[in-house]
Amino acid sequence: MSEQLVLSTIQGKVGILTLNRPKVLNALNNDIMLALSNELLALEKNENVHVIVLTGSEKAFAAGADISAMQKWSYMDVYKSDYIGGFWETMKTSIRKPVIAAVSGYALGGGCELAMMCDLIYAAENAKFGQPEIKLGTIPGLGGTQRLTRAVGKAKAMDLVLTGRFMDAQEAESAGLVARILPNENFLDEVIKIADGMANFSSPVLMMAKQCVNAALETTLEQGLAYERRVFHATFALEDQKEGMSAFVEKRAPNFKNM
Ligand code: CO8
């Protein structure tokens, strides 16, 4: 039987997807990206899941696109493949629940780009980020020059892309790529604990909050503020807003119904 490329498990209201090509440090190819798309869509449809965590192994989140597969590709092969570009379409249009990248070890090339497609990144102390494509005679092709520049600014993005050097977790956090660093020990459990905290809030409000933060990168400030205000108004149509504010006033824990 062929190995499952992406493992999917559910803990409480958190769906956990684990990239599973450990022998090649989770190098990304068409099959693994397709499997990841399918598993993400399944978790998105599952009403019991409120937050999704995407992770790899202790040694590697993902060490990039599969170089052995790409080695002999012609222009037409690479033009036709666009496998992770297609994956981004799924993330952007179909996945409304928050997706957390839990990065332990290497997140390089397409691996770093995959982590940046998620809504936020938590890094283990041993995490290493980079866009080393320059060493292979090519450039980042899945957002590395764009999302990295937005996350860490032009100077550092230029430095990383032109030298191909790796950035450790500390540097990635101070540069703004990573939301938090967590100890290597029990790293995934700690990320799941944080995800579980989010997952106990109202699911529709989580989705609205994610959508608004993401809009900040796509709009002018005025457009973004107007959009946020409209979505803020919309939360007042939810029972969960009534419940959240009533619970505060009545000094009790809220019981969100996700509606
Ligand atoms: N592709 C294929 N195999 C890989 C990859 C990869 N990206 N990374 C590691 N492997 C394999 C190695 O070949 C090795 O296999 P084997 O045991 O059969 O020799 C195994 O994984 C373990 O790797 P190492 O022995 O090299 O482990 P080390 O601990 O010595 O080194 C590194 C770890 C530093 C991560 C090293 O493996 C490395 O530099 N890897 C390549 C990193 C890289 O260059 N990534 C960028 C790839 S290009 C890319 O991502 C472009 C994205 C755009 C794609 C667009 C598609 C349409």
pLDDT digits (tens, 9 = 90+) for 169-217: 999 999 999 999 999 999 999 999 999 999 999 999 999 999 999 999 9
Same domain for 137 and 74? yes
What's the Cα-to-Cα distance from 41 to each of 5, 17, 109, rounded to whole Å? 15, 11, 24
Domain housing 235: 203-250
CATH of the domain at 224: 1.10.12.10
The response to whether residue 67 sits with its C-beta less than 6 Å from ligand 1 reads yes
List, for residues 46-88, the tens digit of each pLDDT value: 999 999 999 999 999 999 999 999 999 999 988 888 776 688 8
Ligand 1 atom, smallest distance to 85 CA: 57
CATH of the domain at 33: 3.90.226.10
Model pLDDT, residue 233: 98
Question: Cα separation of 192 and 19, whole Å?
Answer: 16
List, for residues 87-103, the tens digit of each pLDDT value: 888 888 899 999 999 99
102-106-112 Cα angle (round to 5)? 70
Closest C-alpha residue for ligand 1 atom 30: 25
The response to whether residue 173 sits with its C-beta less than 6 Å from ligand 1 reads no
Separation of CA 161 and ligand 1 centre (Å):
17
- 113 catalytically annotated: yes
Model pLDDT, residue 84: 66
Amino acid identity of 247? A
**ipTM for this model:** 0.98
Ligand 1 atom, smallest distance to 78 CA: 57
- 110 catalytically annotated: yes
Same domain for 163 and 108? yes
Amino acid identity of 5? L
Same domain for 130 and 17? yes
Model pLDDT, residue 89: 85
